[in-house]
């Protein structure tokens, strides 16, 4: 960025409002990808600060960092990061039950027939173990092992996809340096007022508390739950999904680094909602997601502090939210990215990913001074589809439970969205999983949650029906042994970090 604009054309001025994870990810990507013709500035207020949570990711974040040319080990050192092979769901089906939704494959498909059909036949026969027994990432996670996941080789080493846990504040700081080095201009100050064009209704300038004015052509609203431009200024409607996802509060607290640096996120079901535990190099992130209709903050505070290892590093912080999305994430000349565009609780670590896909979509449409309603409509349809399918996946975790508490009983009794009903009906009838378009979660992702939360298909693919029971046992045992042999060769997560990407511990 920063070269001369083509002669005779004024540059398009892009103003990013907000310097949280969304703001600095957007700024870093624009700084890296946008050529002459664009100038990019970011406005943030030190007085307001950022949400400061958001520590677990999914493997796609690696593509974002790679596209920007960021060195993985340097990034992990800078953000006190650790590796993540999946998420352990403790007690979600019932107390004492646990499974891991792991990244990557489960078992191996055979020809036309997906692995889930072999598994479900064995489950109906009564002897299949949970899907984790046949999953490389789960076995590695439970053994506390890490490997960079080489692609398939002639020796047939399986792929092991991974993501990261990191300190979101440090990631934003890391990207800020990156973006500023590529020409993004930062303005610190409080936006007090927004100016709009009397005719078009587009935003023309931001007025800061100290009197400065910042004019722009395209505004990216990364102002978090305040939704300063898309919500307050433009009044974009918010679709409320609390009837499907009743949690409306979170309480977050950090505790010291734990001895056992597990390479997975823990999501532990509670009487109301759930608790997360995320191990970083320098500390542990803990938090609780809950429904305030069912439990008082004070009770959650006691439970949260009673459930962490070591002493809390600060007072727990309460965050209120409304699950849902903007009907239009792009309205007039404003595109909302991050929390201003909507919120889905962090159960499957999808918020940072949604920032990444929004950035990719903006770069694809690359709005200039002239913007088209057809582009806005297409963008908004894609945004809606993506959010709704992730929403369905999260609802599934709540609905497919066998717990006794009133909160969980109410989750079981809810009326599901049609799109989710179709998935569940298809899987329970024939073991098939159908994924449409650019849905985020893969067939094996859906399979792991449905199978481990108690849904069992009544039938399997014809090919899985014809194999003898003895051969089926041999096949599943072989997979288990193959993965165990692989994992035995890997380094421990601790040793892996120490060797490649250990951050300096704070004194």
Q: Which is nearer to ligand FAD, 43 or 272 (CB)?
A: 43
Among candidates 309, 319, 318, which has minimal Cα distance to 283? 309
Give the nearest distance from C-beta 34 to ligand FAD in angstroms: 20
Residue 298 assigned ligand-binding role: no
Give the nearest distance from C-beta 451 to ligand FAD in angstroms: 24
C-alpha dist (Å) from residue 129 to 122, 230, 306, 319: 9, 48, 32, 39
Q: Which is nearer to ligand FAD, 45 or 401 (CB)?
A: 45
CA separation for the pair 502, 255 (Å, rounded): 19
Residue 22 assigned ligand-binding role: yes
Residue 86 assigned ligand-binding role: no
Residue 278 is encoded by which pair of tokens? 């995320």
Q: Which is nearer to ligand FAD, 252 or 400 (CB)?
A: 252
Residue 126 assigned ligand-binding role: no
Give the nearest distance from C-beta 171 to ligand FAD in angstroms: 9
Q: Which is nearer to ligand FAD, 56 or 113 (CB)?
A: 56
CA separation for the pair 443, 115 (Å, rounded): 10
Give the nearest distance from C-beta 85 to ligand FAD in angstroms: 15
Residue 195 assigned ligand-binding role: no
> Out of 84, 145, 331, 423, which one is annotated catalytic?
84
Backbone φ, ψ for residue 373 (5° rounding): -65, -35
CA separation for the pair 376, 499 (Å, rounded): 47
Residue 121 is encoded by which pair of tokens? 């036949």
Residue 348 assigned ligand-binding role: yes
CA separation for the pair 28, 422 (Å, rounded): 39
Residues linked to residue 42 through DSSP beta bridges, in sequence order: 16, 186
Residue 339 assigned ligand-binding role: yes
CA separation for the pair 248, 290 (Å, rounded): 6
CA separation for the pair 372, 167 (Å, rounded): 38
Q: Cβ(289)–Cβ(252) under 8 Å?
A: no
Cβ-Cβ contacts under 8 Å for 449 (sequence gap 6 or more): 89, 101, 393, 396, 397, 400
User: In the annotation, is 84 catalytic?
Assistant: yes
Interface ranges with ligand FAD (CB under 6 A):
18-23, 43-45, 48-51, 53-57, 168, 190-191, 222-224, 226, 228, 250, 252, 287, 319, 321, 338-339, 346, 349, 351-352
Q: Which is nearer to ligand FAD, 346 or 445 (CB)?
A: 346
Give the nearest distance from C-beta 367 to ligand FAD in angstroms: 20
Angle at 284 between CA 303 and CA 68, to 5 degrees: 135
Q: Which is nearer to ligand FAD, 142 or 227 (CB)?
A: 227
Give the nearest distance from C-beta 390 to ligand FAD in angstroms: 11
Mark the binding-site residues, compressed into ranges: 19-22, 84, 339, 348, 352
Q: What are the catalytic residues?
A: 84
Binding-site residues for FAD sit at 19-22, 339, 352
């Amino acid at each position: 960025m920063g070269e001369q604009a083509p002669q005779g054309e004024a540059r398009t001025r892009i103003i990013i409002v907000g310097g949280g994870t969304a703001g600095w990810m957007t700024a870093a990507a624009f700084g890296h990808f946008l050529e002459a013709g664009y100038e990019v500035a970011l406005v943030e207020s030190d007085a307001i600060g950022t949400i400061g949570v958001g520590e677990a990711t999914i493997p796609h974040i690696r593509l974002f960092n790679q596209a920007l040319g960021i060195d993985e080990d340097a990034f992990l050192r800078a953000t006190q990061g650790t590796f993540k092979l999946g998420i352990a769901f403790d007690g979600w089906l019932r107390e004492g039950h646990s499974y891991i939704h792991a990244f990557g494959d489960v078992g191996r498909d055979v020809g036309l027939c997906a692995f889930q059909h072999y598994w479900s036949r064995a489950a109906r026969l009564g002897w299949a173990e949970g899907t984790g027994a046949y999953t490389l990432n789960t076995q590695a996670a439970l053994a506390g092992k890490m490997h960079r996941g080489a692609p398939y080789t002639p020796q047939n080493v399986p792929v092991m996809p991974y993501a990261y846990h990191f300190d979101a504040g440090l990631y934003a700081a890391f990207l800020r340096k990156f973006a500023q080095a590529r020409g993004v201009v930062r303005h610190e100050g409080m936006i007090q007022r927004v100016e709009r064009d009397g005719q078009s209704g587009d935003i023309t300038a931001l007025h800061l508390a100290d009197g400065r004015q910042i004019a722009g052509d395209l505004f990216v609203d990364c102002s978090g739950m305040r939704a300063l431009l898309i919500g307050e200024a433009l009044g974009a409607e918010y679709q409320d999904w609390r009837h499907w996802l009743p949690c409306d509060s979170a309480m977050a607290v950090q505790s010291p680094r734990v001895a056992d640096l597990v390479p997975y996120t823990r999501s532990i079901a509670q009487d109301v909602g759930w608790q997360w535990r995320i191990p970083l190099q320098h500390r542990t992130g803990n938090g609780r997601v809950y429904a305030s209709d069912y439990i008082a903050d004070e009770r959650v505070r006691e439970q949260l502090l009673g459930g962490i290892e070591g002493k809390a590093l600060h007072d727990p912080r309460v965050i209120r939210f409304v699950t849902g999305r903007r009907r239009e994430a792009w309205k007039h000349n404003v595109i909302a990215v991050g929390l201003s565009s909507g919120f889905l609780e962090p159960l499957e670590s999808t918020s940072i990913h949604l920032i990444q896909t929004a950035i990719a979509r903006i770069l694809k449409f690359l709005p200039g001074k002239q913007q088209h309603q057809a582009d806005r409509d297409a963008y908004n349809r894609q945004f809606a589809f993506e959010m709704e399918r992730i929403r369905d996946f999260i609802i599934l975790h709540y609905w497919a439970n066998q717990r006794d508490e009133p909160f969980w009983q109410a989750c079981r009794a809810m009326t599901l969205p049609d799109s989710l009903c179709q998935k569940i009906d298809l899987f329970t009838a024939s073991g098939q999983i159908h994924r449409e378009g650019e849905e985020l979660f893969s067939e094996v992702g859906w399979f792991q949650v449905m199978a481990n939360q108690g849904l069992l298909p009544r039938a399997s693919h014809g090919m899985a029906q014809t194999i003898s029971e003895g051969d089926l046992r041999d096949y599943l045992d072989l997979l288990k042994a193959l993965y165990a042999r692989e994992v035995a060769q890997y380094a421990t997560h601790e040793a892996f970090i120490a060797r490649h990407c250990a951050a300096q511990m704070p004194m």
